Chains A and B, each alone.
Chain A
Amino acid sequence: MTLLEWFKDRRKNASMSKEQRHREIADGLWTKCAECGALHYTKDFQRYLLVCPACSFHEKVSAPERIAQLVDPDSWIPTDDHLLANDPLSFVDVKSYKDRLSQARAKTGMNDAILTGLGTLEGQPLALGVMDFRFLGGSMGSVVGERITRLVERATAERRPVILVCASGGARMQEGMLSLMQMARTSAALQYHREAHQLFISVLSNPTTGGVTASFAMLGDLIFAEPKATIAFAGRRVIEQTLRQKLPEGFQTSEFLLKHGFVDRIVEREQLRPTLSRVLRLHRPVGVPSPLSPATRL
């Protein structure tokens, strides 16, 4: 968006009546930036990959949108989408886990907090998993763990690079210890992927926390993070309560992790696809077009 276009947008916003604006936000015609409050025509906002042109705030992206942003059109083949969480502990807190699951499914149209599949990125084959924060806070239960494990195992066998886009509040408590074990299972699959000298790139988006941070998110051969994403193991509020003191500005952000040496690069969303493409290409031996046979090549 050029500066001129941006000013035009602003004028459009200013000339609207308050009521009209509220109605149009509710209708989804306009989207308000969660950071600076600027109003964007939703179609434009999507064209900007949900990055605010006024303040460059990176809004959360749903898994289907993220996949559309990253893979080549018509190359996407979903994997293991039929897996469903089955409430192994019959867990009930103020609400039952079963109800929470059906509400999340209705809200998102997804079966769990991740989509996995095979596709190409500028013609390069890959295995991609994308988490979705809208589904129970992107929490990791058995299905998330199983889909990632199967994806990585398949990628190892087919010699494909793996990219996982993280967005998670952590372990899914309603599955008890089974959810904790997903940290071990996903890390196990990645160990074998690594031994096969296959690449794994972890992309950290807002927020990446808890058990996901303490497993595959931090195991990337390369780790990229979106600007100003919250990336943490222990929650900020928990730490504040424990220490009884305010934490410094910018604590547990992508920039904080970069400074402390835990991410390779901060990559703006607009640059994510070209950066991934370039890095994938650099990892491919010169003169070898693709490790996949023509039959399995997508």
Chain B
Amino acid sequence: MVYISYIITMSQPTVPTLDFEKELIELEARIDQIRKLAKENGVDVSEQLAELEARATDLRRDFFANLTPPQVLQLARNPKRPSTLDYIQVLCDDWTELHGDRLFGDDLALVGGLARLGDHPVVILGHQKGRDTKDNIARNFGMPQPEGYRKALRLMEHANHFGFPIIALIDTPGANAGLEAEERGQGEAIARNLQRMFAFDVPIICAVIGEGGSGGALAIGVGDRVLMLEYAVYSVVAPDSCSVILWRDKKHIEQAASALKITARDLKQLGIIDEIVPEPAGGAHCEPQTAAASLKNALIRNLEELLKLSGTERREQRYKKFRAMAAFNG
């Protein structure tokens, strides 16, 4: 399946605008209208226009600086957001996709391969959501089967064996709820990845680029550094499921999204992630080139820091970092 990054083609999938973005779009439409009217009537309104545009920029910035967790969740799930393959093709050179887990099959919901990031050959992998309905069916909406996690493990073992750093991009609603996933031991597959990721001595950098859904996300989420895009989310349970389980109805998604602390800012505070990667105002999909540059910058900077350490030091620090992720008295 050939996939060409939409960041390169600049042809975004068209989807309805999010509710809370409408206000801003109205303001921008007004600015456009004034510009058009001024042009038609030959009136110079450039000063006023500049003022209006500055106000729009301020509004946009303020608006996106104060998003509520449910709004961030909407952004993170926005189908317009760049996906793993969109990013890989812009971040890396010499991208060479590799397939299959050598045990059962090839899972298109988890992609990976060899590439060059800056000067460094790496193994890069990640969850892959579909771009449209047909693609989403082929990629199971970015929810891997056990063979997806095992393919990731095989690629990571390859990286560790040949000394390539591992870059893992996280973007999944979560593990796959299905008969076959249970038959083929999805619990075992996730568990094995968690354990083995503590055995590798090459650098591991993970970045949550969209949706970090529970165990399916964590299965490639054990990193020396865990980065998170500004409007991505990372959660132990989808707020939708949390609402059903704890409130026993579907109406409490917003409360669940807030209570679970799923935003980059909250998770930085809790010590779950190491760094927030800034996104352009409006979200990565508004200026995908800028978002990709921001991510590339963060990945290379962290990688070069990690490459200064020995393998043993990296493993020790990785263990210590996760060792501290608990809250209790006594």
A interface residues (Cβ-Cβ under 8 A, vs B):
80, 82-86, 88-89, 91-94, 142-143, 145-146, 149, 171, 173, 175-185, 187-188, 190-192, 194-195, 210-211, 213-219, 232-235, 238-239, 242-243, 247-248, 251-252, 256-257, 260-262
Contacts and interface: CB of A to CB of B under 8 A. Distances in A.
Q: Select the residue from A178, A184, A185 with max chain B CB neighbours within 10 A.
A: A184
B330 A187 contact: no
B195 A142 contact: no
A173 B246 contact: yes
A183 B215 contact: yes
B267 A214 contact: no
Interface in B169-187: 175-179, 181-187
Interface stretch (B232-240, B283-291, B296-304): B232-240
Give me the 3 closest cross-chain CB pairs, A-B, nearest first: A213-B187, A88-B327, A142-B326
Contact of A188 (B256, B260, B319, B330): B319
A82 B330 CA distance: 6
Given A89-B259, A89-B260, A173-B242, A180 B198 contact: no
B215 A188 contact: no
Contacts of B248: 94
Nearest to B320: A188
Interface of B: 175-179, 181-188, 190-192, 194-196, 198-199, 214-215, 218-219, 221-222, 234-237, 241-242, 245-248, 252, 255-256, 259-262, 267, 270, 272, 319, 322-323, 325-330
A82 B329 CA distance: 8
Contact of B199 (A146, A180, A191): A191
B327 A181 contact: no
B328 A214 contact: no
B179 A243 contact: yes
A192 B241 CA distance: 34
Contacts of B188: 218, 262
A239 B192 contact: no
Contacts of B255: 93
A82 B218 CA distance: 29
Nearest to B191: A218
A247 B259 contact: no
B178 A243 contact: yes
A176 B273 CA distance: 13
Contact of B236 (A171, A185, A260): A171
A210 B175 CA distance: 10
Contacts of B329: 83-84, 86
B13 to A, nearest CB: 24
A185 B326 CA distance: 9
Contact of A233 (B181, B237, B247, B330): B181
Given A178-B326, A185-B325, A234-B181, A214 B236 contact: no
27 contacts: A93-B252, A93-B255, A93-B256, A93-B259, A145-B326, A146-B328, A171-B237, A173-B242, A173-B245, A175-B236, A175-B327, A177-B236, A177-B267, A183-B194, A183-B218, A184-B221, A185-B326, A190-B195, A191-B195, A191-B196, A213-B191, A214-B191, A215-B194, A218-B187, A219-B195, A234-B177, A243-B178
B262 to A, nearest CB: 8
Given A94-B247, A181-B322, A176 B260 contact: yes
Contacts of A211: 215, 236
Contacts of B259: 89, 91-93, 176
B178 A234 contact: yes
A180 B236 contact: yes
Contacts of B219: 214
B105 to A, nearest CB: 16
Contacts of A262: 185, 188
B176 to A, nearest CB: 8
A173 B247 CA distance: 12
Nearest to B259: A91
A238 B179 CA distance: 11
Contacts of A232: 182, 187
B178 A242 contact: yes
A83 B328 CA distance: 6
A83 B323 CA distance: 16
B277 to A, nearest CB: 18
A142 B328 contact: yes
Contact of B179 (A80, A214, A247): A247
Contacts of B214: 171, 180
Given A173-B237, A218-B191, A93 B322 contact: no
Contacts of B191: 183, 187, 213-219
Contacts of A143: 326, 328
Nearest to B217: A180
B327 A178 contact: yes
Nearest to A235: B177
Which interface residue of B183, B186, B319, B325 has the most chain A CB atoms within 10 A? B325
A173 B256 CA distance: 10
B186 A214 contact: yes
Contacts of B270: 88, 176-178
Contacts of A214: 175, 186-187, 190-191, 194, 215, 219
Given A146-B328, A187-B191, A178 B272 contact: yes
A187 B260 contact: no
B274 to A, nearest CB: 13
B182 A252 contact: yes
A94 B121 CA distance: 51
B196 A234 contact: no
A146 B326 contact: yes
Contacts of B184: 260
Contacts of B261: 89, 176-177
Given A88-B270, A185-B323, A187-B198, A233 B178 contact: no
